[in-house]
Amino acid sequence: MFFFIALAFLLAWLTFFSPYELFEDDERLSLMNYVLITLFALGPVMGILAGIGFDTFPLVYNIPSFEKTTMRHFLQLNGLGQVFIHIGIYSGKWSLFIELSGIGIILMSLALLTLTASAIEIVKQKNSAGEVGIFSYAPGLVLVFCALFICGAWFMREVTGMIEFGIAFIVAVFCNMMITTTLLSHFNRRLGWNATNPATLPIRFLILITLGIGYVIVSFLRVREVVSEDLIDIWFAVLLLNVFFMLNPLKILRFSTGTFAKPHSTFILIGYLLLPLLAVVSIAPIWTGHEGLANIQPTHWLLITYPCFFIISGFAIYLHEDHLHYSPSTRVTHWHLVILFLGSGALMTWTLFDGSILLEENYAPVLAWVATQSLASILLAVLFIKHTIFPVDNWHRMPMFYDRLIENND
Protein backbone atom coordinates (compact mmCIF):
# COMPACT_ATOMS: atom_id res chain seq x y z
CA MET A 1 0.00 0.00 0.00
CA PHE A 2 2.91 2.34 0.60
CA PHE A 3 3.83 2.03 -3.06
CA PHE A 4 0.29 3.13 -4.01
CA ILE A 5 0.90 6.29 -1.97
CA ALA A 6 4.32 6.73 -3.56
CA LEU A 7 2.74 6.35 -7.00
CA ALA A 8 0.17 9.06 -6.21
CA PHE A 9 2.90 11.49 -5.15
CA LEU A 10 4.90 10.54 -8.23
CA LEU A 11 1.97 11.50 -10.46
CA ALA A 12 1.69 14.83 -8.61
CA TRP A 13 5.38 15.55 -9.16
CA LEU A 14 5.17 14.63 -12.84
CA THR A 15 2.16 16.90 -13.29
CA PHE A 16 3.47 20.04 -11.61
CA PHE A 17 7.25 19.85 -11.24
CA SER A 18 8.50 17.52 -13.97
CA PRO A 19 11.26 18.97 -16.20
CA TYR A 20 10.54 16.42 -18.93
CA GLU A 21 8.02 18.54 -20.91
CA LEU A 22 5.88 15.48 -21.51
CA PHE A 23 2.93 17.32 -23.03
CA GLU A 24 5.22 18.84 -25.67
CA ASP A 25 6.91 15.57 -26.64
CA ASP A 26 4.74 12.64 -27.72
CA GLU A 27 7.62 10.16 -27.67
CA ARG A 28 8.56 11.01 -24.10
CA LEU A 29 4.95 10.85 -22.99
CA SER A 30 4.61 7.45 -24.63
CA LEU A 31 7.63 6.08 -22.76
CA MET A 32 6.42 7.58 -19.48
CA ASN A 33 3.01 6.00 -20.10
CA TYR A 34 4.67 2.62 -20.45
CA VAL A 35 6.76 2.99 -17.32
CA LEU A 36 3.78 4.12 -15.24
CA ILE A 37 1.43 1.31 -16.30
CA THR A 38 4.24 -1.20 -15.68
CA LEU A 39 4.89 0.36 -12.28
CA PHE A 40 1.19 0.19 -11.39
CA ALA A 41 0.47 -3.33 -12.66
CA LEU A 42 3.68 -5.14 -11.72
CA GLY A 43 4.27 -3.11 -8.57
CA PRO A 44 1.49 -2.54 -6.03
CA VAL A 45 -1.18 -4.57 -7.86
CA MET A 46 1.02 -7.63 -8.37
CA GLY A 47 2.33 -7.30 -4.82
CA ILE A 48 -1.20 -7.57 -3.41
CA LEU A 49 -2.08 -10.45 -5.74
CA ALA A 50 1.06 -12.37 -4.79
CA GLY A 51 0.27 -11.91 -1.10
CA ILE A 52 -3.28 -13.17 -1.64
CA GLY A 53 -2.00 -16.16 -3.60
CA PHE A 54 0.60 -17.17 -1.03
CA ASP A 55 -2.01 -16.82 1.72
CA THR A 56 -4.91 -18.72 0.17
CA PHE A 57 -3.64 -21.11 -2.52
CA PRO A 58 -2.17 -23.69 -0.10
CA LEU A 59 -5.58 -23.78 1.61
CA VAL A 60 -7.60 -23.89 -1.60
CA TYR A 61 -5.54 -26.64 -3.25
CA ASN A 62 -4.58 -28.55 -0.09
CA ILE A 63 -0.85 -28.34 -0.79
CA PRO A 64 2.09 -27.51 1.51
CA SER A 65 2.75 -23.82 2.02
CA PHE A 66 4.94 -22.22 -0.62
CA GLU A 67 8.58 -21.64 0.18
CA LYS A 68 8.94 -18.45 2.22
CA THR A 69 12.10 -17.65 0.31
CA THR A 70 10.05 -17.45 -2.89
CA MET A 71 7.85 -14.69 -1.50
CA ARG A 72 10.89 -12.99 0.01
CA HIS A 73 12.72 -12.99 -3.32
CA PHE A 74 9.61 -11.73 -5.11
CA LEU A 75 9.16 -8.83 -2.69
CA GLN A 76 12.84 -7.91 -2.78
CA LEU A 77 13.05 -7.85 -6.57
CA ASN A 78 9.67 -6.18 -6.96
CA GLY A 79 10.32 -3.50 -4.35
CA LEU A 80 13.82 -2.81 -5.66
CA GLY A 81 12.48 -2.47 -9.20
CA GLN A 82 9.91 0.08 -8.07
CA VAL A 83 12.59 2.03 -6.20
CA PHE A 84 14.79 2.20 -9.32
CA ILE A 85 11.90 3.58 -11.37
CA HIS A 86 11.01 6.17 -8.73
CA ILE A 87 14.63 7.32 -8.50
CA GLY A 88 14.87 7.50 -12.28
CA ILE A 89 11.76 9.66 -12.59
CA TYR A 90 12.68 11.98 -9.71
CA SER A 91 16.21 12.42 -11.09
CA GLY A 92 14.91 14.93 -13.62
CA LYS A 93 17.40 13.67 -16.22
CA TRP A 94 15.82 11.89 -19.16
CA SER A 95 18.82 9.68 -19.98
CA LEU A 96 19.10 8.55 -16.34
CA PHE A 97 15.36 7.96 -16.22
CA ILE A 98 15.59 5.64 -19.24
CA GLU A 99 18.48 3.67 -17.75
CA LEU A 100 17.03 3.27 -14.26
CA SER A 101 13.53 2.54 -15.56
CA GLY A 102 14.98 -0.23 -17.72
CA ILE A 103 16.65 -1.74 -14.65
CA GLY A 104 13.41 -1.41 -12.69
CA ILE A 105 11.33 -3.10 -15.39
CA ILE A 106 13.82 -5.98 -15.59
CA LEU A 107 13.78 -6.46 -11.82
CA MET A 108 9.98 -6.48 -11.62
CA SER A 109 9.83 -8.91 -14.54
CA LEU A 110 12.35 -11.17 -12.77
CA ALA A 111 10.11 -10.98 -9.71
CA LEU A 112 7.31 -12.45 -11.82
CA LEU A 113 9.59 -15.25 -12.96
CA THR A 114 10.34 -16.20 -9.33
CA LEU A 115 6.68 -17.21 -9.05
CA THR A 116 6.97 -19.77 -11.87
CA ALA A 117 7.64 -22.75 -9.58
CA SER A 118 4.66 -21.88 -7.40
CA ALA A 119 2.47 -21.48 -10.49
CA ILE A 120 3.51 -24.93 -11.75
CA GLU A 121 2.61 -26.38 -8.35
CA ILE A 122 -0.90 -24.97 -8.77
CA VAL A 123 -1.20 -26.34 -12.32
CA LYS A 124 -0.48 -29.83 -10.97
CA GLN A 125 -3.60 -29.44 -8.83
CA LYS A 126 -5.83 -28.18 -11.67
CA ASN A 127 -8.34 -30.96 -11.01
CA SER A 128 -9.13 -29.09 -7.78
CA ALA A 129 -9.85 -25.83 -9.62
CA GLY A 130 -13.50 -25.95 -8.55
CA GLU A 131 -15.59 -22.81 -8.87
CA VAL A 132 -12.85 -20.76 -10.57
CA GLY A 133 -11.93 -23.38 -13.16
CA ILE A 134 -9.13 -22.60 -15.58
CA PHE A 135 -8.79 -19.09 -14.13
CA SER A 136 -7.34 -20.59 -10.95
CA TYR A 137 -4.12 -21.77 -12.61
CA ALA A 138 -3.79 -20.28 -16.12
CA PRO A 139 -2.93 -16.72 -14.93
CA GLY A 140 0.10 -18.11 -13.10
CA LEU A 141 1.48 -19.50 -16.35
CA VAL A 142 0.69 -16.30 -18.22
CA LEU A 143 2.95 -14.43 -15.78
CA VAL A 144 5.99 -15.90 -17.53
CA PHE A 145 4.83 -14.55 -20.89
CA CYS A 146 3.96 -11.22 -19.26
CA ALA A 147 7.53 -10.85 -18.03
CA LEU A 148 8.93 -11.63 -21.48
CA PHE A 149 6.50 -9.34 -23.34
CA ILE A 150 7.03 -6.42 -20.96
CA CYS A 151 10.83 -6.62 -21.16
CA GLY A 152 10.75 -7.24 -24.90
CA ALA A 153 8.56 -4.21 -25.59
CA TRP A 154 10.89 -1.98 -23.57
CA PHE A 155 14.07 -3.15 -25.30
CA MET A 156 12.40 -2.78 -28.72
CA ARG A 157 11.00 0.67 -27.91
CA GLU A 158 12.77 2.21 -30.91
CA VAL A 159 10.46 0.22 -33.19
CA THR A 160 7.35 2.24 -33.96
CA GLY A 161 4.37 0.87 -32.06
CA MET A 162 6.23 -1.43 -29.64
CA ILE A 163 5.63 0.76 -26.59
CA GLU A 164 1.91 0.93 -27.35
CA PHE A 165 2.07 -2.83 -27.97
CA GLY A 166 3.45 -3.33 -24.46
CA ILE A 167 0.91 -1.02 -22.84
CA ALA A 168 -1.94 -2.81 -24.61
CA PHE A 169 -0.61 -6.19 -23.48
CA ILE A 170 -0.47 -5.15 -19.82
CA VAL A 171 -3.98 -3.69 -19.96
CA ALA A 172 -5.80 -6.20 -22.17
CA VAL A 173 -4.13 -9.44 -21.08
CA PHE A 174 -2.50 -8.97 -17.68
CA CYS A 175 -4.96 -6.61 -15.95
CA ASN A 176 -8.10 -8.13 -17.49
CA MET A 177 -7.06 -11.65 -16.56
CA MET A 178 -6.18 -10.68 -12.99
CA ILE A 179 -9.42 -8.82 -12.29
CA THR A 180 -11.46 -11.63 -13.88
CA THR A 181 -9.74 -14.20 -11.67
CA THR A 182 -10.29 -12.05 -8.59
CA LEU A 183 -13.98 -11.54 -9.41
CA LEU A 184 -14.50 -15.28 -9.87
CA SER A 185 -12.59 -16.05 -6.68
CA HIS A 186 -14.83 -13.71 -4.69
CA PHE A 187 -18.29 -14.30 -6.13
CA ASN A 188 -17.95 -17.95 -7.18
CA ARG A 189 -15.58 -19.42 -4.59
CA ARG A 190 -15.67 -17.20 -1.50
CA LEU A 191 -19.36 -16.29 -1.56
CA GLY A 192 -20.64 -19.36 -3.41
CA TRP A 193 -23.05 -17.36 -5.58
CA ASN A 194 -22.37 -19.50 -8.68
CA ALA A 195 -22.22 -16.31 -10.72
CA THR A 196 -20.66 -18.28 -13.56
CA ASN A 197 -20.99 -21.94 -14.46
CA PRO A 198 -17.44 -23.37 -14.08
CA ALA A 199 -18.05 -25.64 -17.07
CA THR A 200 -18.20 -22.57 -19.35
CA LEU A 201 -14.95 -21.03 -18.10
CA PRO A 202 -12.56 -22.64 -20.63
CA ILE A 203 -14.38 -21.06 -23.58
CA ARG A 204 -14.70 -17.78 -21.66
CA PHE A 205 -10.97 -17.86 -20.99
CA LEU A 206 -10.29 -18.42 -24.69
CA ILE A 207 -12.52 -15.46 -25.60
CA LEU A 208 -10.75 -13.21 -23.09
CA ILE A 209 -7.32 -14.15 -24.45
CA THR A 210 -8.45 -13.76 -28.07
CA LEU A 211 -9.93 -10.32 -27.44
CA GLY A 212 -6.84 -9.30 -25.49
CA ILE A 213 -4.43 -10.34 -28.24
CA GLY A 214 -6.67 -8.64 -30.80
CA TYR A 215 -6.51 -5.40 -28.82
CA VAL A 216 -2.72 -5.64 -28.66
CA ILE A 217 -2.48 -6.08 -32.43
CA VAL A 218 -4.93 -3.26 -33.14
CA SER A 219 -3.02 -0.92 -30.80
CA PHE A 220 0.19 -1.69 -32.67
CA LEU A 221 -1.50 -1.00 -36.01
CA ARG A 222 -3.04 2.23 -34.72
CA VAL A 223 0.39 3.74 -34.07
CA ARG A 224 1.32 2.90 -37.64
CA GLU A 225 -1.92 4.61 -38.76
CA VAL A 226 -3.31 1.44 -40.30
CA VAL A 227 -6.50 1.60 -38.22
CA SER A 228 -8.37 4.50 -36.62
CA GLU A 229 -8.52 5.57 -32.98
CA ASP A 230 -12.25 4.81 -33.03
CA LEU A 231 -11.49 1.10 -33.43
CA ILE A 232 -9.29 1.25 -30.32
CA ASP A 233 -12.15 2.88 -28.39
CA ILE A 234 -14.64 0.23 -29.47
CA TRP A 235 -12.30 -2.70 -28.87
CA PHE A 236 -11.44 -1.50 -25.38
CA ALA A 237 -15.13 -1.16 -24.56
CA VAL A 238 -15.68 -4.74 -25.76
CA LEU A 239 -12.83 -5.90 -23.49
CA LEU A 240 -14.46 -4.31 -20.45
CA LEU A 241 -17.91 -5.65 -21.31
CA ASN A 242 -16.49 -9.13 -21.83
CA VAL A 243 -15.12 -9.13 -18.27
CA PHE A 244 -18.44 -7.74 -17.01
CA PHE A 245 -20.46 -10.52 -18.66
CA MET A 246 -17.93 -13.14 -17.58
CA LEU A 247 -20.21 -13.29 -14.55
CA ASN A 248 -24.00 -13.16 -14.45
CA PRO A 249 -24.75 -9.48 -13.70
CA LEU A 250 -28.41 -10.15 -12.86
CA LYS A 251 -27.46 -12.74 -10.25
CA ILE A 252 -24.82 -10.47 -8.73
CA LEU A 253 -27.25 -7.54 -8.52
CA ARG A 254 -29.93 -9.79 -7.06
CA PHE A 255 -27.65 -11.10 -4.29
CA SER A 256 -26.01 -7.74 -3.54
CA THR A 257 -29.08 -5.47 -3.38
CA GLY A 258 -32.70 -5.59 -2.27
CA THR A 259 -34.58 -8.34 -0.48
CA PHE A 260 -32.17 -11.15 -1.39
CA ALA A 261 -29.01 -9.20 -0.52
CA LYS A 262 -26.19 -11.25 1.00
CA PRO A 263 -22.89 -10.17 2.60
CA HIS A 264 -20.23 -9.29 0.03
CA SER A 265 -17.38 -6.89 -0.63
CA THR A 266 -18.76 -3.49 -1.63
CA PHE A 267 -15.34 -2.58 -3.03
CA ILE A 268 -15.38 -5.54 -5.42
CA LEU A 269 -19.00 -4.90 -6.40
CA ILE A 270 -18.23 -1.28 -7.27
CA GLY A 271 -15.19 -2.30 -9.30
CA TYR A 272 -17.37 -4.78 -11.17
CA LEU A 273 -20.11 -2.20 -11.87
CA LEU A 274 -17.53 0.32 -13.09
CA LEU A 275 -16.70 -1.92 -16.05
CA PRO A 276 -19.80 -1.14 -18.20
CA LEU A 277 -19.67 2.52 -17.17
CA LEU A 278 -16.09 2.85 -18.34
CA ALA A 279 -16.97 0.98 -21.53
CA VAL A 280 -19.33 3.87 -22.31
CA VAL A 281 -16.59 6.38 -21.40
CA SER A 282 -14.23 4.57 -23.77
CA ILE A 283 -16.46 4.95 -26.83
CA ALA A 284 -17.74 8.46 -25.98
CA PRO A 285 -14.85 10.23 -27.79
CA ILE A 286 -16.11 8.75 -31.07
CA TRP A 287 -18.86 11.39 -30.89
CA THR A 288 -17.36 14.02 -28.57
CA GLY A 289 -13.86 14.03 -30.05
CA HIS A 290 -10.50 13.11 -28.53
CA GLU A 291 -9.57 16.11 -26.43
CA GLY A 292 -7.49 16.61 -23.31
CA LEU A 293 -4.70 14.15 -22.60
CA ALA A 294 -6.43 11.53 -24.74
CA ASN A 295 -5.84 13.79 -27.75
CA ILE A 296 -2.04 13.50 -27.67
CA GLN A 297 -1.54 9.99 -26.31
CA PRO A 298 -3.69 6.86 -26.02
CA THR A 299 -4.62 6.75 -22.34
CA HIS A 300 -7.03 3.84 -22.15
CA TRP A 301 -4.83 2.17 -19.57
CA LEU A 302 -5.87 4.78 -17.02
CA LEU A 303 -9.50 3.68 -17.37
CA ILE A 304 -8.66 0.15 -16.22
CA THR A 305 -6.83 1.30 -13.08
CA TYR A 306 -9.88 2.03 -10.94
CA PRO A 307 -11.83 -1.20 -11.54
CA CYS A 308 -8.54 -3.03 -11.03
CA PHE A 309 -7.85 -1.10 -7.83
CA PHE A 310 -11.35 -1.54 -6.37
CA ILE A 311 -11.52 -5.26 -7.15
CA ILE A 312 -8.06 -6.27 -5.95
CA SER A 313 -7.99 -4.00 -2.89
CA GLY A 314 -11.52 -5.12 -2.02
CA PHE A 315 -10.45 -8.77 -2.13
CA ALA A 316 -7.46 -8.03 0.11
CA ILE A 317 -9.63 -6.17 2.65
CA TYR A 318 -12.19 -8.98 2.70
CA LEU A 319 -9.42 -11.56 3.19
CA HIS A 320 -7.93 -9.56 6.08
CA GLU A 321 -11.34 -9.51 7.73
CA ASP A 322 -11.62 -13.26 7.16
CA HIS A 323 -8.37 -13.64 9.09
CA LEU A 324 -9.84 -11.54 11.90
CA HIS A 325 -12.94 -13.79 11.84
CA TYR A 326 -15.31 -10.85 11.49
CA SER A 327 -18.87 -11.92 10.77
CA PRO A 328 -19.62 -11.11 7.10
CA SER A 329 -22.96 -9.55 8.06
CA THR A 330 -21.35 -7.01 10.42
CA ARG A 331 -18.40 -5.86 8.32
CA VAL A 332 -17.93 -2.13 7.72
CA THR A 333 -18.12 -0.86 4.14
CA HIS A 334 -15.60 2.01 4.58
CA TRP A 335 -17.77 4.40 2.59
CA HIS A 336 -15.31 7.26 3.03
CA LEU A 337 -12.78 5.29 0.97
CA VAL A 338 -15.39 4.37 -1.62
CA ILE A 339 -16.40 8.01 -2.08
CA LEU A 340 -12.81 9.24 -2.24
CA PHE A 341 -11.73 6.66 -4.82
CA LEU A 342 -14.85 7.17 -6.94
CA GLY A 343 -14.26 10.92 -6.80
CA SER A 344 -10.65 10.38 -7.79
CA GLY A 345 -11.72 8.18 -10.70
CA ALA A 346 -14.21 10.80 -11.89
CA LEU A 347 -11.56 13.52 -11.73
CA MET A 348 -9.10 11.32 -13.60
CA THR A 349 -11.63 10.73 -16.37
CA TRP A 350 -12.27 14.49 -16.52
CA THR A 351 -8.55 15.16 -17.00
CA LEU A 352 -8.43 12.70 -19.88
CA PHE A 353 -11.09 14.36 -21.99
CA ASP A 354 -11.17 18.03 -20.94
CA GLY A 355 -9.54 20.03 -23.73
CA SER A 356 -8.97 23.10 -21.53
CA ILE A 357 -6.28 21.25 -19.58
CA LEU A 358 -3.92 21.44 -22.54
CA LEU A 359 -5.27 24.39 -24.51
CA GLU A 360 -5.74 26.75 -21.57
CA GLU A 361 -3.33 25.06 -19.13
CA ASN A 362 -6.18 24.60 -16.67
CA TYR A 363 -4.58 22.11 -14.29
CA ALA A 364 -7.15 22.42 -11.49
CA PRO A 365 -8.80 19.03 -12.31
CA VAL A 366 -5.39 17.35 -12.32
CA LEU A 367 -4.50 18.89 -8.97
CA ALA A 368 -7.83 17.81 -7.48
CA TRP A 369 -7.36 14.29 -8.88
CA VAL A 370 -3.86 13.87 -7.44
CA ALA A 371 -4.88 15.32 -4.06
CA THR A 372 -7.95 13.06 -3.80
CA GLN A 373 -6.03 9.97 -4.92
CA SER A 374 -3.22 10.67 -2.44
CA LEU A 375 -5.62 11.13 0.47
CA ALA A 376 -7.56 7.98 -0.42
CA SER A 377 -4.35 5.94 -0.76
CA ILE A 378 -3.07 7.11 2.61
CA LEU A 379 -6.36 6.26 4.34
CA LEU A 380 -6.42 2.83 2.68
CA ALA A 381 -2.84 2.19 3.84
CA VAL A 382 -3.87 3.15 7.38
CA LEU A 383 -6.73 0.63 7.17
CA PHE A 384 -4.38 -2.18 6.09
CA ILE A 385 -1.87 -1.31 8.81
CA LYS A 386 -4.66 -1.33 11.37
CA HIS A 387 -5.85 -4.76 10.24
CA THR A 388 -2.43 -6.39 9.92
CA ILE A 389 -0.15 -4.78 12.53
CA PHE A 390 -2.53 -3.40 15.14
CA PRO A 391 -5.71 -5.50 14.91
CA VAL A 392 -8.30 -4.94 17.63
CA ASP A 393 -9.17 -8.64 17.57
CA ASN A 394 -6.94 -11.68 17.29
CA TRP A 395 -5.55 -12.44 13.85
CA HIS A 396 -6.05 -16.10 12.89
CA ARG A 397 -3.77 -18.03 10.56
CA MET A 398 -6.79 -19.86 9.15
CA PRO A 399 -9.21 -17.35 7.61
CA MET A 400 -12.95 -17.87 7.75
CA PHE A 401 -14.47 -20.07 5.03
CA TYR A 402 -11.17 -21.56 3.86
CA ASP A 403 -11.25 -24.25 6.56
CA ARG A 404 -14.28 -25.68 4.76
CA LEU A 405 -12.21 -26.04 1.59
CA ILE A 406 -9.69 -28.15 3.48
CA GLU A 407 -12.49 -30.34 4.85
CA ASN A 408 -13.87 -30.83 1.34
CA ASN A 409 -10.42 -31.70 -0.01
CA ASP A 410 -9.92 -34.23 2.76
pLDDT in tens, 327-366: 888 888 888 889 998 998 888 877 777 666 655 666 777 7
Mean pLDDT of the region 13-33: 81
Residue 114 pLDDT? 87
- pLDDT band of residue 249 (cuts 50, 70, 90) is very high
Bigger pLDDT: 66 or 209?
A: 209
Q: How confident is the model at residue 66 (pLDDT cuts 50, 70, 90)?
A: low
Tell me the CA distances in angstroms from 223 to 209, 217, 318, 384, 408, one per residue in order: 22, 10, 41, 41, 52
Entry pTM: 0.90
Q: Is the pLDDT of residue 218 over 80?
A: yes
Distance CA 187, CA 251 (A): 10
Higher pLDDT, 5 or 343: 343
Better-scored residue on pLDDT, 320 or 395: 320
pLDDT value of residue 270: 95
How far apart are the C-alpha atoms of 362 and 168, rounded to whole Å? 29
pLDDT(190) > 70: yes
Give one DSSP letter per residue of 338-405, joined into a string.
HHHHHHHHHHHHHHHH-THHHHS---HHHHHHHHHHHHHHHHHHHHHHHHHTS-SS---SS-TTHHHH
Model confidence band, residue 296 (pLDDT cutoffs 50, 70, 90): very low
Tell me how crowded residue 222 is: count the other CB atoms within 10 A of its CB: 20
Which of residues 335 and 7 earns the better pLDDT score? Answer: 335
Instruction: Count CB neighbours of 168 within 10 A.
Output: 31
Distance of CA 235 to the CA centre of its chain: 19
Rounded CA-CA distance 201/351 in Å is 37
* Domain boundaries of the chain, sorted by first residue: 2-409
Averaged pLDDT of the chain? 83
**pLDDT confidence of residue 261:** 86
Query: Over 60: is that where the pLDDT of 298 sits?
Result: no
- Work out whether the CA dihedral 280, 286, 292, 293 comes out positive or negative: positive
